[in-house]
Structure 1
Amino acid sequence: MGRSKLAKFAVVAERENVVQPGDELYGQLAGKWRDLHFENDNPIVLEVGCGRGEYTVGMARLFPEKNFIGTDIKGARIWKGSTMAVEEEMDNVAFLRTYIERIEEHFGQHEIDEIWITFPDPRPRDRDIKRRLTAPKFLDMYSRIVKPGGIVHLKTDNLGLYEYTLEVLQERKADGLIHTSDLYNSDLQEHAMGIYTTYEKRYLAEGIPIKYLQFRVR
């Protein structure tokens, strides 16, 4: 591991806005994020696989009346979003280091109001279908931690992942399903909120349309 990553890990380990293995509250916050971390009753928006946390922080800037949590397993990535939140003195942002497969260990039933899945690994190989963050097992997890009527969003550059997700949701007869294969040339672009991740800017510069869909949890 390079010195830069080690330095970032060391910084993240001391951050109050990051919860990770070894922390006193790690694994103890399920159903208690509002009371023990944010100390308010505001809605909670979760970004799964948040990477650098650019979307998490971007949404937190726009909606200070909500709480935002970005989850990712890689601490060096979380360092970026965590640093932005500290520099901007944002108290409505938190990051959680965990594998998405273990997300139910960290959130209580219906504790989350909304989920964003932004540019996840598309897992294009057939043998990796079950690892896609929109595979049925993950959708079932989201349905247990998101309140009834809460929205789950997907943004991706990958047509295969978009079409796979759309097919799965249609088979499940998902409520409130809306979608587009070209977000910024559609009447749904307001859902992007003007937030662009580093990768998204790159895709758009290359002429790759951004796909988007959302549905409501029953």
Structure 2
Amino acid sequence: MLRRKQHRFQHNREAHNVIERGKELYTTIKGHWQEYFKNDNPLVLELACGKGEYTVGLAENRPDVNLIGVDIKGDRIARGSKRCIEKGLTNAAFLRTSIQYMDEFFEEGSVDEIWLIHPDPQPRDKEEKRRLTNPHFLTEYKKYLKPGGLFILKTDSPFLYEYTLEKLKEFDGYEILDHTNDLYQSPLLKDHFGIETHYEKLWVDKGYTINYIKCRVQ
């Protein structure tokens, strides 16, 4: 296991589509994403992207947007980086950092979409400050999204789904466009291009439902 992680960390140091501490772009990329991708296509983030399954899938299905998977775990994003390289995808990159430091990499009003795919629901009351859809994080996302930009949550947690709906309804500046507590039985499933994570597939195969929220910044 340690050897595999070391290989992945080495991959990240050498990969052109991974931006992490120690590389020049890590401190200079803010305000220059269009130069990095060599186009002015819309910028889409997958936060807490893990192995980058959605980042890669969206990049394949949406060649007219630029995808950035953000995660602090280097051994995870290395897998997404490798898949992009293998598939020849040039419209996706991976940023290794914590979500709380987004201001170091993105200007206000510069992002077109933010996706959260199966984040940890942090269900205990004392964990609310760590939920990625709590009021603090919703405020941060709104800051980086353009007017009319989209915030999208997909979760296997009914708790996080209901919690997020409640917070969005209370929050000034977000308009809920669509939501469902059973995505796979909803016409909204087409929004996902058939992309599912490994654990999502296992969850669905056991008969559990997937929850989905799509909203727009006003």
Please tell me the TM-score bracket, short chain as reference: over 0.9
- Deviation of 1:139 after TM superposition, in Å, equals 0.8
1:99-124, CA deviations, whole angstroms, 9 ceiling, x for partnerless residues? 01111211011111111100001111
- Deviation of 1:192 after TM superposition, in Å, equals 2.1
The one-letter code matched in structure 2 to 1:122 is P
Partners of 2:176 and 2:213 within 8 A in 1: no
Do structure 1's residue 10 and structure 2's residue 47 form an aligned pair?
no
Do structure 1's residue 80 and structure 2's residue 76 form an aligned pair?
no
Structure 1 moving runs of 4+ over 2 Å: none
1:135-176, CA deviations, whole angstroms, 9 ceiling, x for partnerless residues? 111111111111110111000000111110000001125314
- Deviation of 1:199 after TM superposition, in Å, equals 1.4
- Counterpart of 1:93? 92
Distance 1:105 1:75 in 2: 18
- Counterpart of 1:65? 64
- Counterpart of 1:53? 52
Note the residue ranges of structure 1 that are not aligned, 5 or more in a row.
none
Percent same amino acid at aligned positions? Answer: 49
Partners of 1:54 and 1:81 within 8 A in 2: yes
SS in 1 for 2:27: coil
Partners of 1:31 and 1:109 within 8 A in 2: no
- Counterpart of 2:190? 190
* Aligned residue-pair number: 217
- Deviation of 1:178 after TM superposition, in Å, equals 1.8
TM-score w.r.t. length of structure 2:
0.96
- Deviation of 1:179 after TM superposition, in Å, equals 0.7
SS in 1 for 2:139: helix
- Counterpart of 1:128? 127
- Deviation of 1:6 after TM superposition, in Å, equals 1.1
CA RMSD of aligned residues (A): 1.1
Distance 1:92 1:186 in 2: 29
SS in 1 for 2:56: helix
